[in-house]
Amino acid sequence: MNALDCDFIRIDATQSLEKIHEKIDQVVEKINLLIKEQWFIPWDLEKEYDPNTYIEQGYIDADDNVSLRLVADCCNVFGAGYAHGIQKSGAPHKFEEDTDIKRLKFFPNETWNNQLLENEEIFIEYNTIPEENEAYFQKRMYQLNQKIALFAYAKTSSERFEAIFKGLYVLNREKSKDTGVLTYNRISTIMPTYYPKDVKQPLRIAEAYNNDGYKVAHFYTENQVRKFEGKYKKRYKIISYS
């Protein structure tokens, strides 16, 4: 409901056939009224999977259970601008230089056995071959970015494997050193999205920040600001450019 910004009207199928038909008539009447008043927007499945939906929105939130299809889609949400698919599991963020974007499998996959833990507040990257685990451990600890915008490659309710956004995580260096396993802590379920650098962007009028001062969203219209404030109930601080 949050992801699609919609209402659900439920019909109790345990009632009599007469009552069910009566409820259906009421639903049809309500939809016709919404159409007449130009409030009705039909559900668009392709729009749900389109990175531009979240770019135009100004943010992406793991609590909305957002699913994308390709690694390129995951990167494009953050302004990568890939016209075709990519063969890697991710890429560096084009705008937040301390962050990588990754789509990871959280089930045994060849020699990798990554895991999401503690209600997805923590995840680990682990290779079952000690030499390969150590090589990647050293690379991530001392060469690669310490933050990861994470998408989990998993089966959804549609019975397809898709990339599900989980939030922004940061490497826990001390825990990783103690265990020898790369361990990350989630620092935000919500991240700002971006238009590609070669695309003319609409004027931003406001931004939203969490309590740690991390920017989680930006907005292009007053309507977007109002919808965000209504959805999150002062959970984030809104700063206007004007």
Strands 122-125 and 115-117: antiparallel
What average pLDDT score do residues 208-231 get?
A: 94
> How many whole angstroms separate alpha carbon 126 and alpha carbon 195?
33
* Lowest-confidence pick of 42-46, 94-98, 134-138, 189-193: 42-46
What is the reported pLDDT for 21?
94
- Name the DSSP class of 25: H
- pLDDT tens digits along 116-169: 999 999 999 999 999 999 999 999 999 999 999 999 998 887 778 999 999 999
Contacts of residue 23, defined as CB under 8 A and 6 or more positions apart, other chains included, come to 11, 12, 15
Strand partners, 218: 207
pTM value is 0.83
pLDDT tens-digit map of 172-203: 999 999 999 999 999 999 999 999 999 998 99
The residue among 118, 113, 147, 152 whose CA lies nearest residue 133 is 113
